[in-house]
Amino acid sequence: MLGMCRGRRKFVAASLALFFIPALTWLYLSSANFTVKPLPLSPLDPQSSVLIGAAAEHQDLELQLRDVEEHNHALRREISLPPRVPTHSSHHSNSRQGNQLHTHSTEEGTGDSEAKKGVASGNSSDCVPQPVVNKCETIHIAIVCAGYNASRDVVTLVKSVLFHRRNPLHFHFITDSIARKILADLFHTWMVPAVHVNFYDADELKSEVSWIPNKHYSGIYGLMKLVLTKTLPTNLQKVIVLDTDITFATDIAELWVVFHKFKGQQVLGLVENQSDWYLGNLWKNHRPWPALGRGFNTGVILLLLDRLRKLKWEQMWRLTAERELMSMLSTSLADQDIFNAVIKQNPFLVHQLPCFWNVQLSDHTRSEKCYKDVSDLKVIHWNSPKKLRVKNKHVEFFRNLYLTFLEYDGNLLRRELFGCPSETDHNSENLQKTLSELDEDDPCYEFRRERFTVHRTHVYFLHYEYKPDLDNTDVTLVAQLSMDRLQMLEAICKHWEGPISLALYLSDAEAQQFLRYAQGSEVLMSRSNVGYHIVYKEGQFYPVNLLRNVAMGQVNTPYMFLSDIDFLPMYGLYEYLRKSVVQLDMGNTKKALVVPAFETLRYRLSFPKSKAELLSQLDMGTLFTFRYHVWTKGHAPTDFAKWRTATTPYRVQWEADFEPYVMVRRECPEYDRRFVGFGWNKVAHIMELDAQEYEFVVLPNAYMIHMPHAPSFDITKFRSNKQYRACLKTLKEEFQQNMSRRYGFAALKYMTVDNNS
């Protein structure tokens, strides 16, 4: 509307100029003609100076008239043209000068010229920019990602892209084996429509760049972007390359459309470096790699892969790197140094992007010249090792924007792209078919639905290291928890020195709280053999058995001790279990080693350091056998009376409702997912072990103690909700019937289990 109004005003102004300016000029010249006299022959004539002045004035007026007529002729040509539809660019502007910012490639630079033309003229507009890209065109994004921390950081980048996007996306991840496992599991469970993911083995590419000495903290992976033309599919023509520390504040399609502005031999789209690094004046004897002016930052790159391959990019960057390394000896900024050296020799390769496509938040940058208003921000780049602690005038605003995506519920990004045909996702299709077969009028519908809910899962949320032992006796403690049990982690780490696999049921915001808690704990940070696996919240139930299965799935040792987070194992249990593996020939038999469970009602307990101390506290009433007063069936088969005097392991028989804590081989069956919240989740698993003919053997010198805590939300629902208990009973009956069908005659005993237990 604003553009139409401006157009009409321009038309009226031009029309007035066409009719009134010639008329006024004619009148003026006519009046002048009445006073003109013949020029004197002699320049010394007294009136000659006046006459000469009049003649000069007349000549000037004729020239002005000619200029006006030429201007009017140009206006007529412009008015005769059809109205021009404004072309939206990815840059906002309030003025005509601002709107012309993207019309010419010479105005798309960064630095002082851009600050004058872009920021000074205003970067905001009432018009909402629409990306000039096909609605269903797939946008390709390449990211190099290696290690645990980078795999966690890249999720925030992906969230920011998904939040704004309106197009199908195809991510190309160049990863090490760690990042591939983490991201493959994450995207598989995320199930975002119209998003495809491919992985490329970075380890296979190391030989391509390992000959380049690199001082940058990114290590060898910081050089991988140089070989993308060789790594990515040959039929892929263009790609946007991003660092993992990028946050998008707009639709990535606006960046994708900039490819259409490449001219001539331009094959690289880059933003000018906003620090003085390549100017070589940061300190005495500072000698950076050669660069064009301030150089370019490679946190955001537009690559025309097909043209780069024709230009023999591989040969080009290699020759440049070899030549410069003869004097520079190593790179300081990884691939960025080599990209800039190539551009210095071949400036025609680069298409300079406006600097708001890579607002670089390292110390002492000129990033403030890239924006004037919030609407100007497109891409934020945390390209300092300090990350969120970087010094910047508006760092609080940038930090809050980053934290918004960091804690944003990723489940909300599972939105469909309407109107775009997509490839069939068989996993999603099968899930929808299964859910559609459930009866929504069933009182237990929510219980049944939870069994099939796919929870977004991020395994190895923190750094993890494990070196397998050669004797094949190692044991991992397996447990699950939510935010309200976080305080148990340090105590468990002090009691168990071996590997631990934990599944945490958290929201995105809670995951960041956990991260801060863990990073602030000396106990947790001193342990690198604890795997933390985040299962993100979804639905109304606590998916206890899913969590156990996730934790079990990440066990790297031959054996695992299936525990719960509110139990503290006795000191030395880890080594005791490893010795039991050998003594009881666990490698060649199917055994479940039972660790007797006790409990205390005291929040402050002098933890017994031996069986003798435990028996003493048991006799004094400081300790009790676990749940003896509310659920004796759960651990009665352990035979605590026999355990008091036992010195050797002894076998016990399965009984109804038996739910001990056991050590088993890693290949044991999973927990049944139909049981959520409180009730029968462990009972069903022990029944499965019995059906598969596991022997239950009680260890005479092992024990664990349950620490007191407030009742969980699920046990409160179980106790107060009659329908909850009715559905649990139904699920138990169905499980028993399934067992009978699967294991035949041997499973008939499970059909006689008291359903009221």
DSSP assignments along 351-403, one per residue: EEEPGGGSEE-STT--GGGG-SSGGG--EEE--STTGGG---TTHHHHHHHHH
**Residue 156 lies in domain:** 139-410
Q: Is residue 69 part of a domain?
A: no
The CA-based angle 56-60-65, given to 5 degrees, is: 145
Going by their DSSP bridges, the two strands 169-175 and 195-201 should be labelled as parallel
pLDDT in tens, 591-640: 999 999 999 988 888 899 999 999 999 999 899 999 887 778 889 999 99
For helices 713-720 and 722-743, angle between their N-to-C axes, nearest 10 degrees: 100
Under the banding of pLDDT at 50, 70 and 90, the label for residue 108 is very low
Q: Is residue 738 part of a domain?
A: no
Task: Tell whether the model's pLDDT for residue 131 goes beyond 60.
Answer: no
pLDDT at 727: 84
Tell me how many domains the chain contains: 1
User: Regarding predicted confidence, which is higher, 105 or 247?
Assistant: 247
Under the banding of pLDDT at 50, 70 and 90, the label for residue 129 is low
pLDDT at 491: 95
Q: What is the mean pLDDT of residues 76-89?
A: 42
Q: Is the dihedral of CA 391, 394, 400, 405 positive or negative?
A: negative
Proportion of the chain above pLDDT 90, given as a percent: 54
pLDDT at 678: 82
pLDDT in tens, 402-460: 889 999 999 999 988 887 876 666 677 677 777 776 767 777 878 888 888 899 999 99
Task: Tell whether the model's pLDDT for residue 128 goes beyond 70.
Answer: no
For helices 313-328 and 335-345, angle between their N-to-C axes, nearest 10 degrees: 110
The Cα–Cα gap between 38 and 45 comes to: 12
Q: Is residue 49 part of a domain?
A: no
pLDDT at 318: 94
pLDDT in tens, 233-262: 999 999 999 999 999 999 999 999 999 999
pLDDT at 106: 34
DSSP E strand stretches across 232-292: 238-242, 246-248, 268-272
Task: Tell whether the model's pLDDT for residue 53 goes beyond 90.
Answer: no
The least confident of 73-82, 462-471, 720-729 is: 73-82
The Cα–Cα gap between 509 and 507 comes to: 5
| Residue 533 parent element (H or E) | strand 530-536
pLDDT at 217: 78
**Among 278, 253, 400, CA closest to 341:** 278
pLDDT in tens, 545-574: 999 999 999 999 999 999 999 999 999 999
Cα distances from 603 to residues 496, 521, 523, in angstroms, run 20, 21, 20
Task: Tell whether the model's pLDDT for residue 462 goes beyond 70.
Answer: yes
The least confident of 86-95, 311-320, 450-459, 463-472 is: 86-95
Under the banding of pLDDT at 50, 70 and 90, the label for residue 752 is low
pLDDT at 258: 95
Instruction: Please tell me the total number of residues recorded for the chain in this structure.
Output: 757
pLDDT in tens, 513-536: 999 999 999 999 999 999 999 999
Q: Is residue 164 part of a domain?
A: yes
pLDDT at 424: 64
The Cα–Cα gap between 305 and 225 comes to: 12
The two three-digit tokens of residue 122, written as one number: 């205003």
Q: Give the HSE-up count for residue 530: Cα atoms under 13 Å, Cβ half-sphere.
A: 21
Q: What is the mean pLDDT of residues 204-232?
A: 90
Highest mean pLDDT among 5-9, 434-438, 491-495, 721-725: 491-495
User: Regarding predicted confidence, which is higher, 706 or 751?
Assistant: 706
Under the banding of pLDDT at 50, 70 and 90, the label for residue 285 is confident
**How many whole angstroms from its chain centre is CA 42?**
91
Phi, psi angles (nearest 5°) of residue 238: -150, 155
Q: Is residue 221 part of a domain?
A: yes
Cα distances from 105 to residues 108, 117, 260, 263, 367, in angstroms, run 5, 13, 11, 9, 21
pLDDT at 749: 77
Task: Tell whether the model's pLDDT for residue 113 goes beyond 50.
Answer: no
Any idea what the CATH number is for the domain that residue 355 is in? 3.90.550.10
Task: Tell whether the model's pLDDT for residue 184 goes beyond 60.
Answer: yes
User: Regarding predicted confidence, which is higher, 1 or 257?
Assistant: 257
Q: What is the mean pLDDT of residues 214-234?
A: 91
pLDDT in tens, 137-150: 999 999 999 999 99
pLDDT in tens, 668-677: 999 999 898 8
Q: Is residue 205 part of a domain?
A: yes
Task: Tell whether the model's pLDDT for residue 575 goes beyond 80.
Answer: yes
Task: Tell whether the model's pLDDT for residue 390 goes beyond 70.
Answer: no
Q: Is residue 196 part of a domain?
A: yes
pLDDT at 387: 55
Task: Tell whether the model's pLDDT for residue 30 goes beyond 50.
Answer: no
pLDDT at 214: 86
Q: Enumerate the β-bridge partners of residue 591.
A: 695
Task: Tell whether the model's pLDDT for residue 485 goes beyond 60.
Answer: yes
Q: Supply the mean pLDDT for the chain.
A: 82
Tell me the H-state helices in 388-539.
Answer: 395-406, 426-436, 445-450, 488-495, 508-519, 522-525
The least confident of 93-107, 280-294, 300-314, 561-575 is: 93-107
The least confident of 78-82, 283-287, 719-723 is: 78-82
Q: Give the HSE-up count for residue 195: Cα atoms under 13 Å, Cβ half-sphere.
A: 24
pLDDT at 40: 39
Task: Tell whether the model's pLDDT for residue 288 goes beyond 80.
Answer: yes
pLDDT at 122: 37
Q: Is residue 418 part of a domain?
A: no
User: Regarding predicted confidence, which is higher, 395 or 587?
Assistant: 587
pLDDT at 535: 98
